[in-house]
Chain A
Amino acid sequence: MKQTVKRKEPDFIILFTTMTLLAIGMVMVFSASAVIAMENRQDLYFHLRRQAFWSILGLAGMIILSNYDYWKLKRWTNAILLASFLLLLAVFIPGLGVEIYGAKRWIGIGGFTGQPSDLAKVALLLFAAAYLSRKDIRIGKFTEGPLPVLGVMGIFFGLILLQPDLGTAMAIAGTVMVIIFVAGMPLQQIFLLGLSVTPLLGYLMVSKPYRMRRLLSFRDPWADPLNTGYQIIQSLYALGPGGLFGVGLGRSRQKFFYLPEPHSDFIFAIIGEELGFIGAASVLLLFFLLLWRGFKVALMAPDLFGSLLATGITAMIGLQALMNIGVVTGSIPVTGINLPLISAGGSSLLFTMCSIGVLLNISKHVK
């Protein structure tokens, strides 16, 4: 087989699905947020403008990174890791951290607020891919391969849990685990690891009473319709009446102060209401396309680092998307996680776009 040194075009399908999802997100953020933006800020376009701003920033990041050879990222790994660690600490510093609904997830600098955990996701997966692709690391040896990665992840996991943000912590853990798994961690070790963290996870669930209630309420949201079941019920009230074709773009009723966060965590419910099963299933299929191409890039990456990096990026987007849709459809417990590329979200969107930029760059180098 002949190999060309010449760079290929980036994966078109990844680019296409990303841009389509971004466009759908823009329209739906506007539709879902207009009512509450008008009520809370007397500005119909508040969230639309923000989304546009972050999208442009994200697009810039994506273009830059898609043209920046991915293996050069290795040298930034430790710096990024350290920066995100410090930012995660910063959310607890009064004046710098911003507390919303009792959670300290944001930091505010000037007029901007961002979630350090969004950077932490990227930093960790970059670190995991870089570390595990080192030639001197034997993945088969637990203390040599998985343990250091798990250790760093554990620190981040703990910091994010303190915010508290269980959903993001789980998504990060999941992403890192996928990287370790693909890197070749022996199955017996995975099994033993799973056994040893089960009690810890169990404790995390039970330690805060609201977690347990939330955890179980998705099974029967009508058991406690005003508290733990409220969000799921409102989400179902959006999806159900949507039917096959939806009630029509812009004609959601659930966005009128019934569904909390209609433009971020529960935007998928508004899509299901306004655009129906056709619209919602299309979004799912677009994500499927993105995952398929992402895994394809991982499979065909020229080196282990590229392969693991592509795996991590794909897994990160895929896990968040599937978890979010799982929550909105009442299939899994409610965790505050947004829908990548679609939900209104500043730093989250920026870093997702940057990751896709990296993915596109790897795709240029596939065999």
Chain B
Amino acid sequence: MSRSVVSNITVKKRLLFLFFIMALTVFLLILRLAYIQFVMAGDLQAKAWEQWNRGVPSRAPRGTIYDRKGRLMAGSASAESVIALPAQILDKEEAARLLAPILEIDEEKLFEQLSQKSASVYIKRLVDEETAQEVRRLNIRGITFAQEPKRFYPHGNLASQLLGFVGVDQGWSGLEIYYEQILKGRDGRFEFQADGRGRQIPQGIQRFIPPEDGHDLVLTIDQTIQFIMEREMDRVMLESQPKGIISIAVDPRTGEILALAGKPDFDPNRYNEFTSDSWKLSPVTDSFEPGSTFKLVTLSAALEEGKYRADEGFFCGGSINVAGSSIGCWTRGRGGHGAIDFLKVVLGSCNPGFVTLGQRIGADKLMQYLKAFGFGVRTGIDVPGEGIGILFSPQQYGPVEAATTAFGQGVSVTPIQQVMAVAAMANGGDLMKPYVVKEVRDSEGNVVRRQEPQVVRRVISEETTREVTRIMELVVTEGSGMNAYIDGYRIAGKTGTAQKVGPGGRYIGGEYILSFIGFAPAEDPQILLYIAVDAPQVGPQWGSQVSAPMYKRMMGDILKYMNIPSSKTQVNEAPKMVEVPNLIGMTLEEAGELLEPSGLLVRLIGSGGSILNQTPKAGAKVPLHTQILVYLGGEQVEGEVPVPDLTGKTMREAGEILGWLGLVMNSSGSGVAVSQDPAPQTRVNVNSVVNVEFRTPGDTDR
């Protein structure tokens, strides 16, 4: 050929080299392709599915909470949430402008929400019917609604700490959080495949996973008992203004909690208006020094070990020496109980007497009993946040510690631990495991789980429990618990007045926890009731004056509600009439000691340090539970005094009380005072006239 022919060897070599490089690249790309499509395929497939699949949640209705008789305690109503499907909204600015005022959301924020890249956005959760209607009327494309359950508590504060509340999407406290998994059920989903703009792909796969309804709880709680209990607690909160009150009612035979409350509490419907302190279930979470109610444990141990004989003599000189330390009795001020027997040790709550009993049992044995009664470990009750309390560790536990433990000092226990320990004394000797949820039912009402009573262990013999019960009855008929006596029933009980321990481990002066624990009817205990009042700010800080009368009112109403007949064999009866002691000239503390086992109620007037006057006068015979008025002076110093409440007073008493304060009575009618002017607590000048109207009870009654 005439044209020049490429024979350049270099060109050929280089072409072959390039061809080789390209062939190699093709080969590598095929390998890479194979790696993606075979090795990475599974992982990529899963991730891609996640991207394609969109779900609209279908919320499961939350389970309902009922009391033991099937009465509603917490339920769910349906409310609507406003949802935006951003891809379908044509004019997002316009939509934001229209919706913002109705939903009370900032317009710019709303616009941002509407502009999000997701398939659906919650704009506002759980709106009320009116708002939903207004939004519906706007008829904006891409704005829809989802039905969502909203929790409500028909009785507001009732059992609020126990029930807890549902915050955003889940239970936040109480049973609502403890049983979250059972109550919430499983949300369903409508799933479909979406395109890159969030719309359903026409031929894509779709499926509906139906929601599984939450299960219902049936509680051991009796709503009426809970109501009786909380009514009394609210009343004392107002009258005595304590820092708090704790109360538990339990069926001692089974460990079922019948009522449980702590004050101050909250309204779970408006939980965010209360401090989180009020959310916790104080009867179970808090622990404090038990005081005298703990003496029942020592008594039981002594009885079981044969170390207690009722008629054995004992001398209380106001204190006892233990390993070089002097441990005082609360009667130390008046030189102790003196020569008494061991029954009186118990009835008079004598600290040296209990120290002696503790020593006879032996320190180690006493600790064994404490642990057998369940102190130092959680009871296992099905509520969140249960406390443990503190016992002395083996290293700390010396003779002095054993001595104070014997009368309830230096240890710290939770109310529920105390309740279960005393329940063992009431039920024949078994420590029961307390529980709140009796049954779990599915949405069709079938029982999924039933809680049977559980015996933790046998602690003491039936014989011992009979004796403890008998002594506790005596506390109520002739001891410090007389103010808890209910005519016609056999009531067992024990008062406690414990000093409060501050954060540093030191006692806080002048602040006491006044408790009462007892059960009824004593011959067949069906209900055990515990009350603890934390540092009342108004009135006397004596258990006999605060917790015992509370117990009487609660237990009386509960027995009536439960239709428990009066005891036919009332072994011991409290006296119908009691004599009024002379209190004039005593300090408030001395008077308290004297009045503790008197069966009288006291009302303090004035704020002085010692008693100037009293009515009725000393030596008068008055019915049990009569209120006597004690005048402390210190009010009428200059000018103004508060007008006392004279309701129910006889004309003579009323005149006398007004006289103490330097006020003049202008009476009308006869009988007992029914109304007065000025009203109680009004501040008036000394020598002012108070108009009091009297009426004979028969005139108005019936």
Contact = CB atoms under 8 A, between A and B. Distances in A.
Nearest to B29: A325
Contacts of A181: 14, 18
A239 interface: yes
A302 to B, nearest CB: 6
Contacts of B201: 253, 256
B196 interface: yes
B395 interface: no
Interface in A246-282: 251, 253-254, 256-258, 272, 276-277, 280-281
Contact of A303 (B5, B34, B52): B5
Interface of A, helix, strand, loop or mixed by DSSP: helix
Given A292-B19, A318-B22, A299 B12 contact: yes
Interface stretch (A15-23, A118-126, A151-159, A283-291): A283-291
Contacts of A291: 19, 22-23, 26
Contacts of B15: 182, 295, 298-299, 307, 311
B3 A302 contact: yes
A89 to B, nearest CB: 32
A276 B41 CA distance: 11
A301 interface: yes
B32 A331 contact: yes
A237 B43 CA distance: 10
A244 B37 contact: yes
Contacts of B38: 243-244, 277
A5 to B, nearest CB: 8
B238 interface: no
Contacts of A281: 30, 33-34
A240 interface: yes
B8 interface: yes
Nearest to A298: B15
A366 to B, nearest CB: 11
Interface string B55-98: 00000000000000000000000000000000000000000000
Contacts of A295: 15-16, 18-19, 22
A240 B41 contact: yes
B48 A240 contact: yes
B325 interface: no
B196 to A, nearest CB: 3
Interface in A312-367: 315, 318, 322, 325-326, 329-331, 367
Nearest to B204: A253
A14 interface: no
B11 A257 contact: no
A108 interface: no
Interface residues of A, number: 51
Interface in A206-264: 236-237, 239-244, 251, 253-254, 256-258
Given A240-B36, A240-B37, A302-B3, A258 B51 contact: yes
A310 to B, nearest CB: 9
Nearest to A365: B3
A329 B36 contact: yes
Nearest to A5: B1
A326 B11 CA distance: 28
Contacts of B19: 291-292, 295
A3 interface: yes
B28 to A, nearest CB: 8
Given A276-B37, A291-B19, A292-B19, A284 B26 contact: yes
Nearest to B40: A240
A350 to B, nearest CB: 24
Nearest to B196: A257
Contact of B11 (A184, A288, A330, A331): A184
Interface of B: 1, 3-6, 8, 10-12, 14-16, 18-19, 22-23, 25-26, 28-30, 32-34, 36-38, 40-41, 43-45, 47-48, 51-52, 193, 195-197, 201, 203-204
Q: Which 5 A-B pairs have the closest CB atoms?
A: A240-B44, A257-B196, A256-B195, A237-B48, A258-B196
16 contacts: A182-B18, A184-B14, A236-B44, A242-B37, A244-B38, A272-B33, A272-B37, A292-B23, A295-B15, A295-B16, A302-B3, A307-B6, A307-B15, A322-B29, A329-B36, A330-B36
